[in-house]
Amino acid sequence: METSLLLYVVLVALVGLERVAELVVSLRNAKWSFGQGGVESGRGHYPFMVVLHTGLLAGCLVEAIVADRPFTPVLGWIMIAVVLASQALRWWCIATLGRQWNTRVIVVPGLSLVAKGPYQWMRHPNYVAVVAEGAALPLVHNAWITAIVFTVLNIPLLAVRIRTEEAALDQALAAAK
């Protein structure tokens, strides 16, 4: 295996480990949220989200290896920068939301909306990270089919996810009045 491909496998594995770290934080936060009376919404789309994000990681590796995709330095290095920036944004979101952050849609009644960190500029900054990473990670090693498939499948998922979050937040805010 050539060096660039081996390093790409390591990069994808590190992103996979980052996802495991997210799940650990998410499980801890879910336990806390449910202990505070949190209400979950949108359970139906969650399994598809897990499969899609797992498929992104697998697709990156399979396409790069099976289709023998080359590493193109100009594209590859720019995409590595985008991947790193998306990770930074994601963890900024996680740190900003604290116990309220979750991979699931769980709203704790009585808590106010967070309007600091990246949330002071946009409503769903974590999804900017998801979209950027979903395109950039495959393109680090020219896995363009994976980038396109993930992006196309992620569009309706994000539409459902954002509508679910907005409805849950609106319901919680209305109940607090």
Mean pLDDT calculated for residue range 96-109: 96
User: pTM of this prediction?
Assistant: 0.94
65 pLDDT tier (thresholds 50, 70, 90)? very high
Number of other residues whose CB lies within 10 A of the CB of residue 94: 19
State yes or no: pLDDT of 153 exceeds 90.
Answer: yes
pLDDT at 48: 97
d(CA 140, CA 134): 11
pLDDT at 174: 79
- How does DSSP assign 134-169, residue by residue? HHHHHHTTT-HHHHHHHHHHHHHHHHHHHHHHHHHH
Contact 49, 161 (CB under 8 A): yes
Residue 42: which region, alpha, beta or left (left: phi > 0; alpha: psi -120 to 50)?
Answer: left
d(CA 79, CA 64): 15
User: What is the overall mean pLDDT for the chain?
Assistant: 96
pLDDT at 113: 87
**Better pLDDT: 177 or 62:** 62
DSSP-derived secondary structure letter, 112: P
Q: Determine which helix (DSSP H) or strand (DSSP E) holds 68, and give its type and residue range.
A: none
pLDDT digits (tens, 9 = 90+) for 38-50: 999 999 999 999 9
Collect all residues with Cβ–Cβ distance below 8 Å to 166 and sequence separation of at least 6.
none
Contact 117, 88 (CB under 8 A): no
User: What is the residue extent of each domain of the chain?
Assistant: 3-176
pLDDT digits (tens, 9 = 90+) for 114-133: 999 999 999 999 999 999 99
State yes or no: pLDDT of 177 exceeds 80.
Answer: no
66 pLDDT tier (thresholds 50, 70, 90)? very high
Determine the topology of domain 3-176 in CATH: Four Helix Bundle (Hemerythrin (Met), subunit A) (1.20.120)
Contact 106, 40 (CB under 8 A): yes
d(CA 137, CA 29): 27
